[in-house]
Amino acid sequence: MPLTNSRTRRWRIVLAEGLLVVLLPLVVVVAAWAPLAWYPLIVTVMGVLVAVVHLSAAAVHRLYRWAFSGIDPPVDGDAVSQAEQPTPALGVAAPNQAELDALPVEKRLELLELNRQREDRDRDRRDAELDRCRQSRHQRLNSIGILAGVLFTGGSLIVTALTFMTGQEELRTAREGQITDRYTKAAEQLGSTKPEVRTAAIYALERITTDSARDTLTIRDVLAAYVREHDPAPTIKDDELPQQPDTDVAAALTILARRPIDTVAIRGEYAPAAPPSLDLHGIRIRGASFPLFAHLYEANLAGSNLNGSYLTRANLNFANLNRANLNGANLNNASMLRADLTRADLIGADLRDASLLEANLTGANLTHANLAHADLTDADLRGMVGVSEAEVRKVAKVNAHTRFGAAPAD
């Protein structure tokens, strides 16, 4: 048999084993995690793989024979034809009839015995080759059986994966349905005439935000709207406002102030752009007690009345407090980086150790405000009322870029 054909068969055998041992498990793994739209392609690939491995089953058997016996196996159909060919004598011509007649009887009997032995060897060789052919067929059937078992196992894994993904999808759908029902019920309870029911509904909405991150911004806006709609009526004058907010409004403010920051994960997954700021503009809530480290980053509190509110260590960075009423508010250690406090009323406000870096305090009323150790680096204090530049420089931290003087023209 030519060497080239032998090497070609051996490479085909190696490729067939690679397909059987490597690609089939890979297809099973991919099918377990692939989207449903990929399944037709995966089934097609598996069909091609099955066909290739089926056609290469005989080659795999030849590889085993070649590896363990060192004999290059014959091509299918050549075994019997080669076995049927008589074994030629090595370098000896067959005698003719005259030469045979001239031989003694003993030699002729010896030649007959040798001929019989040669025929026996040829017959034994043909029988051995036939046995090898039968064994090859058996090996082929066994390979097909093993392949069928592997395919069955792979199919079982795929079915299991599909069942798992379907179960997860159903679980997710059921969970979202439960959250929707909880949200709807809480929203309905917000319209109750009983304050305790409204308060419970507000805390129920907070619980939903812990279970569903993508509803965080929606619930935040709902609670902000609730606060704006349930603060004292505009007909009530500022000096007639209650000393403290109602229980439900106070609960909503507490939840809004202690909510987690609008993280990048929430913005990136559920919103294509940064969400709008917390909108509490124009609220009139006197004596509100915000939790420590209240999160009011970028909050819109323009025109709000937070007279006497507790905002110690609050995060008011970039907040809009334009024309806000913060008279007597406790802003001790509050962070108000670049906050807009234009024309804000800060009469008697506690601003000790507050950070007002680059804050806009143009036209702010700082009468009797406590600015001890307040950081006014790069702040704009032009047109401030109730305190002189010298008094500010004496108690607060300023730098060369802190601006004083007349208010800029509108």
Partners of 397 in the β-ladder:
375
pLDDT of residue 203: 94
CA distance 41 to 70: 41
**End-to-end CA, the chain:** 102
- SS3 string, the chain, reads CCHHHHHHHHHHHHHHHHHHHHHHHHHHHHHHHCCHHHHHHHHHHHHHHHHHHHHCHHHHHHHHHHHHHCCCCCCCCHHHHHHHCCCCCCCCCCCCHHHHHHCCHHHHHHHHHHHHHHHHHHHHHHHHHHHHHHHHHHHHHHHHHHHHHHHHHHHHHHHHHHHHHHHHHHHHHHHHHHHHHHHHHHHHHCCCCCHHHHHHHHHHHHHHHHHCHHHHHHHHHHHHHHHHHHCCCCCCCHHHCCCCCCHHHHHHHHHHHHCCCCCHHHHHHHCCCCCCCCECCCCECCCCECCCCCECCCCECCCCECCCCECCCCECCCCECCCCECCCCECCCCECCCCECCCCECCCCECCCCECCCCECCCCECCCCECCCCECCCCECCCCECCCHHHHHHHCECCCCCECCCCCCC
Model pLDDT for residues 132-147, shown as the tens digit of each residue: 877 777 777 776 767 6
HSE (side-chain half, CA atoms, 13 Å) at 124:
6
pLDDT of residue 72: 47
pLDDT beneath 70, residues of the chain: 1-95, 100, 143, 145, 147, 150-151, 154-155, 262-274, 410
Q: What is the pTM of this model?
A: 0.61
pLDDT of residue 211: 86
pLDDT of residue 341: 97
Residue of 257, 309, 301 lying closest to 282 (CA atoms): 301
Contact 71, 63 (CB under 8 A): no
Place of tokens 């700021």: 277
Q: What is the CATH number of domain 277-410?
A: 2.160.20.80
| Domain residue spans of the chain | 3-76+119-163, 173-272, 277-410
